[in-house]
Amino acid sequence: MLEVAGLHVSYGKHRALEGAGLVVAKGEIVVILGANGAGKSTLLKAICGVCEGSVAGSVRVEGRDILGRPPHEIVDEGLALVPEGRGIFPDMTVAENLTLGAYSDRARDEAQASLERVFKLFPKLRERRRQVARTMSGGEQQMVAIGRAMMSNPAILALDEPSLGLSPILCKELFQTLGTVRDAGLGLLLVEQNARQSLAIADRGYLLENGEIVREATGAELLKDPAVQEAYLGGAAAKGGAKPVPHAPDKRPAAAGPAPGARPASVAQMPDTRPAHVPTPRGTGPSPSEIAAHAVRSAQGRATPRSAQSAPPRPAVKPAPDPTPTPAQSRPIPTPTPRTPSTGRARDVLGGVEIGDLVANATSRADRRGGGGTRPGPGVPRSMPDAQGPPARSTTQTATSARLPDVPMPDLGSSADRLRRILDEIEGAAKQAESWRPQSSTNPRGR
C-alpha cells in the first residue's frame, strides 16, 4: 500500500503542493485529476523521489518511509514510475528494454517470472520481443514502458499521463490494459487528462486544485458529479470522447479538504513530522541513461562488494539517435568472461541475453557511433558490419535482418568503464556547449 500524507512541494517561492494526502491499495486504480498546473506531475514525482523542488511530508510504501530516498531505492521498495514520455530505450529491442527494467535488487532474481508475467499481460510484446522499440507504434511503446516498469516487480505502479499522444483506439486499449494490470494485483496511481476513460476504470479518484486535494470519491461517483462533468468532462451535455482538461480554475471550493467520508481521513490529516524541505535528488523521471548507469553499477556489483555500489545516479543525458542498424537478438550473444554464474532462466527466454550483455552491447554501439563509423571501438573487430559505416538501412531491415556477428563480446568490466567514460564525455560536451559564447569581435550586431 502507498500512503501519502501532508506532502508539500515548493519550487523556490512557488508552492506547488500543499499538504496533499492519498492512499493507493494493491489491486486498485486511483486517478488524480486536475487542471493544467494543478500539481499532478509534481505530486507523482515527489512520491517517486524524482522531484527537483523542496519536498516535505510523509510517503510510505508497505509501511516503510521512502521520502528523500534515491529513486533506485524507491524502486527496490516496490514503487515504479512510468514517466510522461515513456523513457524507453529507442534503439534497443523490446526484450532488451524489458530486461533493463529488472535491474533493481528486488527484481533481479525474479526477472524470469516477471518477464513471463509481462508477456502474459502483453502477448504482443512477446511476439515483438526482437523488434527495435523506436519502430513500434505509440501504444506499443507505452506497453513497453509499462512492461519495463513491471519488470521491477512493483507493488505500486505510478503512471504520468500514459494516454498522452495516443489515438482514441490506442487509448481504449491502454485503459483496458491498465485494468488488466490492476487485476494482476498491482496498485495503480494514475495522473491523467483523459478524465472520462480514466474515471471509467478507476476505483477511486482525487481532485487536485492549485496544489491541494479538494475531493476524493469513487470513480463512478466522480463521473456522475455535475461539478466534475463541468470541469473535466466538457460539461454535462458532453457525450463520449476525451475532452481537454480546462486551464487552472480561478476559484476553489470554500471548504477545501478531503470530502466527507474520504478515506482514510486519518492519513489525510496526519501531521507532518518530517523536517521541512527534504531535497530530493532528481529533477525529472529516471532517464534511459540513468537506468543504464544503474545497470552498469548492478552488473559491476556482481563482482564487487555491495558497499562499492553507492555512487550517486548520473545526471540525465539523452542518448543520441543511433544511425546504425540495431541487431536483433536471434542468437545468443557470447558470454563475456569473467562472469559470475547467471541467474539462469531469463537468459534462455531472451536468447542468452542479460543485463551485463545489454550494457556491453550498448557500449559497443556507442563506440561505433563515437568512431564515426570508421574506427571500431576496443573489443569490436573491424569485421563488424556496422563498424564499416554501411549505408543507412530501413527500420524494417533493422528490426528483421540485422544480426549480431559471432564475435567475442568485450570484457564486462571494461565495457562498464567505457560506458561510463562515454557518459562523462557526453556530459563534458554538453557543459562546453552550454558555456560557449561568441567572441565580442564576431558579434554580428557590432555592439
Ligand X SMILES: Nc1ncnc2c1ncn2[C@@H]1O[C@H](COP(=O)(O)OP(=O)(O)OP(=O)(O)O)[C@@H](O)[C@H]1O
Which residues 6+ apart lie within 8 Å of 247 measured at CB?
A: 35, 36, 37
**Which of 283, 405 has the CB closer to ligand X?**
283
Residue 216 and residue 205 in contact, taking contact as beta carbons nearer than 8 Å:
yes
In the complex, minimum distance from the CB of residue 16 to ligand X, in angstroms, rounded to a whole number: 4
List 6, 19, 21, 39, residue binding ligand X (CB under 6 A):
39
Judged by CB under 6 A, does residue 282 bind ligand X? no
**Which of 39, 379 has the CB closer to ligand X?**
39
**Which of 15, 134 has the CB closer to ligand X?**
15
Judged by CB under 6 A, does residue 379 bind ligand X? no
Site for ligand X in 40-79 (CB under 6 A): 40-42, 52
**Which of 14, 251 has the CB closer to ligand X?**
14
In the complex, minimum distance from the CB of residue 104 to ligand X, in angstroms, rounded to a whole number: 26
Judged by CB under 6 A, does residue 258 bind ligand X? no
- Compute how many other C-beta atoms are within 10 angstroms of the C-beta atom of residue 246: 12
Alpha helices in 202-343 (DSSP H): 219-224, 226-232, 265-268, 288-301
In the complex, minimum distance from the CB of residue 152 to ligand X, in angstroms, rounded to a whole number: 23
In the complex, minimum distance from the CB of residue 279 to ligand X, in angstroms, rounded to a whole number: 13
**Which of 246, 390 has the CB closer to ligand X?**
246
Judged by CB under 6 A, does residue 34 bind ligand X? yes
Judged by CB under 6 A, does residue 37 bind ligand X? yes
Residue 326 and residue 398 in contact, taking contact as beta carbons nearer than 8 Å:
yes
In the complex, minimum distance from the CB of residue 360 to ligand X, in angstroms, rounded to a whole number: 35
Residue 178 and residue 188 in contact, taking contact as beta carbons nearer than 8 Å:
yes
List 36, 273, 383, 394, residue binding ligand X (CB under 6 A):
36
Look up cell 527496490; give the residue: 76
Cell numbers linked to 180:
488488466
- Compute how many other C-beta atoms are within 10 angstroms of the C-beta atom of residue 124: 19
Site for ligand X in 2-21 (CB under 6 A): 11, 14, 16
| Encoded amino acid at 121, one letter | L
In the complex, minimum distance from the CB of residue 13 to ligand X, in angstroms, rounded to a whole number: 10
Judged by CB under 6 A, does residue 204 bind ligand X? no
Taking the C-alpha atoms of residue 296 and residue 288, their distance in angstroms, rounded to an integer, is: 12
Cell numbers linked to 181:
494490470
Q: Count the site residues for ligand X by CB under 6 A.
A: 12
In the complex, minimum distance from the CB of residue 35 to ligand X, in angstroms, rounded to a whole number: 7
CB burial string 160-183: b at 16+ within 10 A, e below = bbbbeebeeebbebbbebbeebbe
Judged by CB under 6 A, does residue 306 bind ligand X? no
Q: Which helix (H) or strand (E) holds 159?
A: strand 156-160
Taking the C-alpha atoms of residue 312 and residue 290, their distance in angstroms, rounded to an integer, is: 10
Judged by CB under 6 A, does residue 277 bind ligand X? no
Which residues 6+ apart lie within 8 Å of 329 measured at CB?
A: 93, 95, 96, 129, 130, 350, 351, 353, 404
Q: How far is CA 116 from the centre of its chain?
A: 20
Judged by CB under 6 A, does residue 445 bind ligand X? no
In the complex, minimum distance from the CB of residue 220 to ligand X, in angstroms, rounded to a whole number: 23
Contacts with ligand X, residue ranges (CB under 6 A): 11, 14, 16, 34, 36-42, 52
